[in-house]
Amino acid sequence: MRFGFLLTKGKAEAPQIASTLAQGLIARGHGVVVIEEDARALPGATVVPAAALGSSVDVLVVLGGDGTFLRGASLVSDHGVPLLGINLGSLGFMTHYSLGEAAEAIAQASCGKLPIDDRMRLRVTVCVNGQDVETRSALNEAAITAHTIARLLDLTAELDGGVITTYKADGLILATPTGSTAYSLAAGGPILTPDLEAIVLTPICPHTLTNRPVVLRADARIAVTNVSPGPVILTLDGQWSRELGRGDSIHVRKADRPLRTFRPPSRFFAILRQKLSWGERQG
């Protein structure tokens, strides 16, 4: 098997950890692959451009936090490559394995003994002047926010061709179940367990307080049009963005291919209790 490694830039210990894990794989006859920017961390590995990583590996090991995991997902998910996240960050909703669990998890994955889960992603198409101009995927969310200074936006949302409403808000988030614990949660959206298939529509600071988050079915056809006086910004997973002018829209639906991720220990609610301080008395 070919194991790719993607390293966070925020942890000085990441190269040494990756080197130790890679040496174990090489000793068992597996190949190790890195992208060009991580080549110095693993001098004996095969080096490929980031765009070629998905077609060059069978498994991607991510060392870092959820931001690094999201980047890894954007590089390999369309190729069906499963991700194994090792948490070197602070939150770790997606990088499930601790450093102490890393070597055993990788060994189990290399033997085909670690179960794999599928997680729904979004397919987001940008439409300008009635024409589709670009399509991207998102694991967490698509967020529409102000272009520069904070101001109230006007965003018309449609479901299967029918108008939901025109939101007057600081922005709008369309999140997957995986993304329900990210930006959407901070904006007051509900938490969905990651095995569900649904899309959460969460307004950011809506001017009308009765505009609450809505959970939509996964096969829904959702469109959001910018009817604000000026441009707005579309951001996908905090990794990619582009401007949407007045009248521009996005069309959102469930992506054809899910993210494949190695199933973590059954600790979803344990993570919520730890990271969100559930059950702890405040004050």
CATH number for the domain spanning 242: value is 2.60.200.30
- Note whether residue 249 is domain-resident: yes
Q: Are 203 and 98 in the same domain?
A: no
- Rg for the chain, CA atoms, rounded: 20
Q: Are 151 and 164 in the same domain?
A: yes
- Is 66 marked active-site? yes
- Residue pair 105/87 in contact (Cβ under 8 Å)? The answer is no
DSSP H helices, the chain, are 14-27, 53-56, 66-76, 99-110, 183-186, 268-275
- Note whether residue 280 is domain-resident: no
Residue listed under structure tokens 């070919």: 2
Query: Domains in the chain: how many in total?
Result: 2
31-35/2-7 β-pairing: parallel
Q: Are 174 and 265 in the same domain?
A: no
Domain that holds residue 15: 2-119+259-275
Residues making up the chain, counted from first to last: 283
Q: Are 36 and 133 in the same domain?
A: no
Per-residue pLDDT of the chain (283 residues), as tens digits, is 999 999 998 788 999 999 999 999 999 999 999 999 999 999 889 999 999 999 999 999 999 998 999 999 999 999 999 999 999 866 667 888 889 999 999 999 999 899 999 999 999 999 999 899 999 999 999 999 998 777 899 999 999 999 999 999 999 999 999 999 999 999 999 999 988 999 999 999 999 888 999 999 999 999 999 999 999 999 999 999 999 999 999 999 999 999 999 977 666 777 778 777 777 776 6
- Residue pair 180/137 in contact (Cβ under 8 Å)? The answer is no
- Residue pair 53/73 in contact (Cβ under 8 Å)? The answer is no
- Note whether residue 26 is domain-resident: yes
Q: 99-110 and 14-27 helices cross at what angle (nearest 10)? A: 30
pLDDT for the residue numbered 283: 60
Q: Are 133 and 229 in the same domain?
A: yes
User: How crowded is residue 101: how many other Cβ atoms within 10 Å of its Cβ?
Assistant: 15
pLDDT for the residue numbered 90: 66
Q: One of 38, 58, 66, 170 is an active-site residue; which one?
A: 66
- Note whether residue 282 is domain-resident: no
pLDDT for the residue numbered 218: 95
Q: Are 173 and 268 in the same domain?
A: no
- Note whether residue 37 is domain-resident: yes
- Note whether residue 81 is domain-resident: yes
- Note whether residue 78 is domain-resident: yes
Q: Are 148 and 246 in the same domain?
A: yes
CATH number, position 22: 3.40.50.10330
pLDDT for the residue numbered 272: 76
Three-state helix/strand/coil letters over 47-81: EECHHHHHHHCCEEEEEECHHHHHHHHHHHHHHCC
The span from the CA of 28 to the CA of 187, in Å, is: 46
Residues 6+ apart with CB under 8 A from 60: 3, 4, 5, 6, 53, 72, 75, 76, 81, 82, 83, 84
Q: Are 142 and 206 in the same domain?
A: yes
Q: Are 138 and 249 in the same domain?
A: yes
- Note whether residue 233 is domain-resident: yes
pLDDT for the residue numbered 168: 96
Q: Are 84 and 203 in the same domain?
A: no
Sheet holding 259-262, edge to edge: 46-48, 31-35, 2-7, 59-64, 83-87, 259-262, 116-119
pLDDT for the residue numbered 266: 64
Q: Are 185 and 211 in the same domain?
A: yes
Q: What is the pTM of this model?
A: 0.90
Q: Are 141 and 86 in the same domain?
A: no
